[in-house]
Amino acid sequence: MSDSSTTDEPAAASAPVPAAAATDTSAGAATSAGTDGKGRTKAGRNLPAAIGVGVGLAALVIASLVFRRELFLPVLVVAIVIGAWEMRRAVRQAGLDVPFVPVVIGAVSMLLSAFYRGPEALVLTFGLTCVGILVWRVADGLDGAMRDISGALFVSLYPCFLGGFASLLLSADDGHLRIIYFVLVTVASDIGGYAFGVFLGKHPMAPSLSPKKSWEGFGGSAFTCAVVGAVGLATLLDGVWWQGAVIGVVVAAAATIGDLIESSIKRDLGIKDMGSLLPGHGGLMDRLDSLLVCIPVVWALLLWAAPVT
């Protein structure tokens, strides 16, 4: 399970880098094409490794959904727990010692309660997790408690609470199709943004946060998401195509915001990646960034476009 199983030292999360050197390697961030002869694109990604890992992750998700949608739940739990572990190690760069036991118990509780009991249970277990973190950390002493509690609450929200919306998607009778739709639309944002950004990107979107993310790449994300959203909603969920296109455009914006949030966190912490679990990508959180922000957006919009009956 990457190097996180052997040590909990902050340096193991990822090597600190100067804030100015922290770059966004997410799909859609590139502004020029080509490789450096080692399989790395000018967007900073080892493209063959990234493609291989992406295909492997997609195969795992599809395989877990093919037979019974409930099989995806343990995959989701493991992914969120690993993401929380990476976040915990990353924030230690800022001197925050997040108590992991109440965080991981809360994460599992949120994911399971959301699947079996719905959105009210997700909110309730998030509140109980916050209380558990407070009690756990104060019992360990008051020195630096406020700082550590703040870090733990952040990790409980991102990725744990946001991940709970994937459980809400999955809980519907057609939950496996909703998860597939969500993944397709969000991945379309990365693919479209990356392709347009590599070949057409000239105008940086947020140079202080992500110098390689361009407005042209964002336009490609929106276009690709709209097409995939329209086709996917009509074919998978028997929805109206134009509502799927609306969902796609909103998801493109949410995915971009998620990328920028992750970039700002990494710049603030002075790290390049959240980990090294996924070759060509970095840590698992480097892949979950846009997904986590998009999950509640897709869940809410599907209540409008494809209500659960």
User: What's the CA gap between 167 and 120, in Å, rounded?
Assistant: 13
DSSP 3-state helix, strand, coil percentages of the chain (rounded to 5)?
Answer: 70, 5, 25
Burial class (CB in 10 A: 0-12, 13-18, 19+), 21: exposed
Per-residue pLDDT at 160 exceeds 50:
yes
Lowest mean pLDDT among 41-50, 174-183, 223-232, 263-272: 41-50
Question: E-assigned strands of the chain?
Answer: 204-206, 210-214
pLDDT at 45: 58
In angstroms, the CA 156 to CA 104 distance is 8
Q: Residue range 217-244: average pLDDT?
A: 95
List pLDDT tens digits, range 267-292.
888 888 787 676 656 788 888 888 99
pLDDT of residue 109: 98
Please, how many CA atoms are within 13 Å of residue 55, restricted to the half-sphere of its CB? 6
The structure's pTM equals 0.80
pLDDT of residue 278: 66
Query: At residue 157, does pLDDT exceed 80?
Result: yes
Residues 216 and 236: their CA atoms lie apart, in Å, by: 29
Mean pLDDT of the chain: 83
Higher pLDDT, 309 or 136: 136
CB-based contacts of 237: which residues, under 8 Å, 6+ apart?
174, 177, 178, 181, 302, 305, 306
